[in-house]
Amino acid sequence: RQSYAEKNPSSLKAYEQATKSLPGGGTRSSIFIHPFPLFIERGEGTEIVDVDGHVYLDFVSDFTSGIYGKTNPVLKKAIIQGLDNGLQLGAHTPTESSLSSALCDRFPSMDLLRFTNSGTEANILAISTGLHCTRREKVVLFQGGYHGSVLSHFGEEGGGGDLKVPYDFIVCPYNDIPGTRDIVQKWNDEVGVIIVEPMIGAGGCIPGDPQFLQFLRDLSTQIGAVLIFDEVQTARLGTGGRQKILGITPDMTTLGKFFGGGFAFGAFGGKEEIMSLFDARQPNSISHGGTFNNSPLTMIAGLTAVQHILTEDNLNKLNKMGDGLREELNSVFQEEELPFNITGLGSINQIHYTPTTEKRQGLDLLFFYLLDRGYWIAQRGLISLNFAMTQEDVRGFEIAVVEAAREVGSVM
Ligand code: PMP
């Protein structure tokens, strides 16, 4: 077997070059691969091609944002037409309000919303808005939760390198009602915001128990805090996100990733009484700018995606494919006593190496054995499906994962 470095000489060279101007050779820590990342040149459908000419079937789908696959004819057509109308208009546009109205129709908690350029920014604005409304300082969030670049991985192994942020965070245990109640009780009327992912995403695809999420709804009302659901990932589980599936309506919601139809995107929204604070007609409104918040290309791509691709039928099919994948793999892992399991919901899943020691090595080996078989997952185990995939692609992937898992089981 060739070593990873032998197999990927051009990626290694590209990486060495990249480290001269980018720390670690890249600009997103979350996609780094140890010992060095593969450099991808292009993609089509569900395939990606690296600079050494290897072709992989992509089962990461850019950590859920790449739900359309690498290319999509409907989006391409809309974006090309959009280019003819101007790159930047620097003004209110009808497309912007069509997209916001489509999103407000979908998410029960959103009467009004504002766009941003990323999920991180959406969360920062939502948290700050919640604190402003309540005139309080403390923010409750959960272990393993990820709300963006500077709001990351609290309490996770190896998460010691986070930047300081200007919030007074209280970290509570996820899916633990008594544990959370005990901690929050100490602060009660100092807590302005409770922010939670309805399924922990980057922290390992741990679905939130409906009772736990309902408890947070009740607790927020009781103590007068603003409850924010971060649905940056989970919005793709149904047309109205997980909030609609569970019938639990937060005060505010944040969105990101795929709603930009492939471009940089974020949005935060909520009840009218909260979001009308941004109403520029009011004398004391909160000023919220952002040069690219309503970028015409993002707006047209996002609107096209919502109207034609992120339909209930399409989302249901994709989620069903993901449910089938998870069930099938878990049943083989159990039957053959392989050291892995998968957690997640619908089309968003995470493979875990079950032994408590050498977790990292177990997943690393699985990742490299899958690359050998032509499949690309996140090195930390995230698997997310996209619309360019067929049931045959998923079936081929299942077989490859089982083979790779057997191989890991035999060497570790
Ligand atoms: N919230 C969640 C739940 C996320 O998964 C992410 C991105 N992985 C973010 C927020 C941040 O979004 P962005 O990367 O667009 O800043």
Give tens-digit pLDDT for 333-379. Answer: 999 999 999 999 999 999 999 998 888 899 999 999 999 999 999 99
| Structure confidence at residue 20 as a pLDDT band (50, 70, 90) | very high
Q: Whose CA is nearest to atom 1 of ligand 1?
A: 147
Q: Are residues 148 and 100 in the same domain?
A: yes
Distance CA 214, CA 211 (A): 5
Contact (Cβ atoms closer than 8 angstroms) between residue 268 and residue 125 = yes
Q: Name 47's Cβ contacts closer than 8 Å, sequence gap at least 6.
A: 55, 56, 57, 58, 70
Distance CA 189, CA 138 (A): 9
**Is the bond leading into 73 cis (omega within 30 degrees of zero)?**
no
Indicate the residue among 326, 343, 360 that finishes a domain: 343
Q: Are residues 187 and 334 in the same domain?
A: no
Pocket test for ligand 1, best of 232, 233, 350 (most atoms within 8 A of CB): 232
Q: Are residues 19 and 99 in the same domain?
A: no
Q: Are residues 190 and 260 in the same domain?
A: yes
| Structure confidence at residue 153 as a pLDDT band (50, 70, 90) | low
Q: Is the CB of 153 under 6 A from ligand 1?
A: no
Q: Is the CB of 96 under 6 A from ligand 1?
A: no
Structural domain includes residue 326 = yes
Residue type, 400: A
Q: Is the pLDDT of residue 76 over 60?
A: yes
Instruction: Tell me, in angstroms, the distance from the centre of ligand 1 to residue 169's CA.
Output: 18
Could you tell me the CATH number of the domain that includes residue 136?
A: 3.40.640.10
Q: Are residues 225 and 335 in the same domain?
A: no
Structural domain includes residue 398 = no
Structural domain includes residue 237 = yes
Contact (Cβ atoms closer than 8 angstroms) between residue 297 and residue 93 = no
Q: What is the CA radius of gyration of the chain?
A: 22
Structural domain includes residue 82 = no
Complex confidence, ipTM = 0.99
Number of domains the chain is built from = 3
Q: Is the CB of 236 under 6 A from ligand 1?
A: no
Residue 265 lies in domain: 88-309
Q: Are residues 14 and 162 in the same domain?
A: no
Instruction: Tell me, in angstroms, the distance from the centre of ligand 1 to residue 339's CA.
Output: 29
Structural domain includes residue 362 = no
Q: Is the CB of 147 under 6 A from ligand 1?
A: yes
Q: What is the pLDDT of residue 106?
A: 98
Q: Is the CB of 239 under 6 A from ligand 1?
A: no
Instruction: Tell me, in angstroms, the distance from the centre of ligand 1 to residue 281's CA.
Output: 31
Q: What is the pLDDT of residue 152?
A: 73
Q: Is the pLDDT of residue 18 over 70?
A: yes
Instruction: Tell me, in angstroms, the distance from the centre of ligand 1 to residue 95's CA.
Output: 24
Give tens-digit pLDDT for 78-103. Answer: 999 999 999 999 999 999 999 999 99
Distance CA 279, CA 284 (A): 9
Q: Above pLDDT 70, what percent of the chain?
A: 98
Q: Are residues 184 and 326 in the same domain?
A: no
383's enclosing H/E stretch is: strand 382-384
Q: Is the CB of 264 under 6 A from ligand 1?
A: no
Q: Are residues 167 and 121 in the same domain?
A: yes
Q: Are residues 107 and 213 in the same domain?
A: yes
DSSP state at residue 292: T
Indicate the residue among 343, 362, 385 that finishes a domain: 343
Q: Is the pLDDT of residue 159 over 80?
A: no
Structural domain includes residue 392 = no
Q: Is the CB of 258 under 6 A from ligand 1?
A: no
